[in-house]
Amino acid sequence: PKTDIVFLKVHKSASSTVMNILFRFGETHNLTFAFPSGGGNQLFYPRHFLASFVQGFSPWSPQQFNILCHHMRFLQPEVQKVVSSSAVYFSILRNPVQLMESSFVYYKGTSAFSRARSLEEFLSQPYHYYNPANSDSHYAKNLMTFDFGFNPNGEVSAERVQLMLKAIEAYFDLLLISEYFDESMVLLKEMLCWDLDSVVSFPLNIRDSSTKSPLPDTIVEKIKDWNRLDWEIYIYFNRTFWERIDRDIGRERMQQEVKALRDRQAELARTCLQGTGSVAPEDIKDSSLRPLQHGNAKILGYNLKQDLHKEMEHMCRRLVTPELQYSNILYKKQFAHRQP
């Protein structure tokens, strides 16, 4: 199994669920994480990543970490300084239409979104609300482009798009697609030579459907135009994603693998969870399992069954521990010797 990994955590793209998978694998195999200095949950985002942002990194005695997965704005030469040269790089993309709809709810407090009553209103005259000079403007336009380290306000010429796609392709070994999450996990498992249980997960940091609404076609087209660079990235890598499946696995075997993954997930859900799955934040009984609530989104969580035997309880708890709490646990564990 591969243990040196860089995961570019793209906002609002099922990346918290992927992070849980990496946290569990790292904890099980005693791997080191490149934590944000001071133990925060972002690597000084939205600044471009610097090796000096990582707790314990020093240019004089460069230490390499196994897993780099906290939110960052990608900058490859700096990332290289903190991981092994053989590290596997991957990220996850989401359809920019759903991404924008999600961002509008989740980042409602940002300068671009706070004054618009609805996404429609924002898109009817975006430059009335959006100012690229604002420090939080990246949440409102080409967010994936920004996370990958590029200029979200750059011109959309064929040449520029090609350069961007080629750069992403050069740096990353795999780009997952959140709409095909299970297929993505199968590809990830194959690439990392991991077993099935390592990529099983329960969806984390997901919104209650009461805050979601279907988008009319006119809005969909406006979102694509407004996020044209994101759209180009998504279309291109969605295509290469399926080409890779056809080349490396084949559709038939992929179906079998996905079924095995879903069956195992269902089995763990029956073993671990009370009720049928995720619950509203106010219904989560154990406060340590309550996810951070953000913007106008209502983030769901889970209740564990009582009376699980010790090992099972530990496994189930890790599957449903929200990102911030889990990151905290691992940070304390990794730097235990430094605590007074």
45 and 73 Cβ atoms separated by less than 8 Å: yes
Q: At what angle do helices 251-272 and 228-248 cross, to 10 degrees?
A: 100
Q: Give dist(CA 174, CA 240) in Å, integer.
A: 9
Neighbours of 248 (CB within 10 A): 12
54 and 34 Cβ atoms separated by less than 8 Å: yes
| Cα R_g (the chain), whole angstroms | 20
Residues forming beta bridges with residue 207, ordered by sequence position: 299
Supply the pLDDT for residue 296.
78
Supply the pLDDT for residue 338.
61
Q: Give dist(CA 303, CA 272) in Å, integer.
A: 8
Supply the pLDDT for residue 340.
44
Supply the pLDDT for residue 158.
97
Low-confidence ranges of the chain (pLDDT < 70): 338-340
Residues forming beta bridges with residue 59, ordered by sequence position: none
Amino acid identity at 301: G
5-260+323-335 folds as Rossmann fold (3.40.50)
Neighbours of 115 (CB within 10 A): 10
